Amino acid sequence: MNDQILIRPIEETDFSAYRELRLEALRGHPEAFGSDHDEQAADPELAWNRMRSSIEGTQSRIFLADAGGELVGIVAVFRESGVKVRHSANVVSVYVRPAWRGRRLAELMIRQAIEWCGEVGVRIVRLCVTAGNEAAIACYLRCGFMECGVQREVIRVGEVYYDEVVMWRRV
């Protein structure tokens, strides 16, 4: 495995690899994402819209972990658009391929997302994580997030419901 990993914003040429990585995340961890694998797989335009918004870079940004041309991780951050809430953003879609875990790639991508938030005037960043996902919670704590509550039964996979821990931090 190539140990040279670049954390960078998404580019138009990443579309196919990004979509593949996102679908892998949704398929492998359905309890961790609000989006559904089958819905996303059936509509490539959803991934393209998300990417296009990020490339414009004013309301959202997707960061990738690029290991010598192979995309191995994703973090997205979306800024709220309303006048009263545009000082806040949400980190979503955090995923690192299993073979690349343990290298703190999610932490590196999240730190870049927070830096981008500061550049565009965001003051508060929030995220939600599936309750019980201790590795992810530890990562977010290392990135300066604090727990501030639990939302009950947010994600449903089949007939199983999952709670989410809400976390936040100032930029």
In order of start, what are the domains of the chain with their CATH numbers?
A: 5-170 (3.40.630.30)
- Altogether, the residues listed in the chain come to a count of 171
DSSP 8-state code for residue 159: T
Of 85, 92, 100, nearest to 53 by C-alpha is: 92
- pLDDT digit string, tens, across residues 75-98: 999 999 999 999 999 999 999 999
Answer whether residue 31 shows pLDDT above 60.
yes
Helix 15-28 and helix 44-56, axial crossing angle in degrees, nearest 10: 120
- Cα 113–chain centre separation: 9
**Cα three-residue angle 21-34-138, rounded to 5 degrees:** 75
Using the predicted structure, report yes or no on whether residue 151 has a pLDDT greater than 70.
yes
Which candidate, 12, 80, 92, places its Cα nearest to that of 48?
A: 12
Query: Is 2 a residue whose pLDDT tops 60?
Result: no
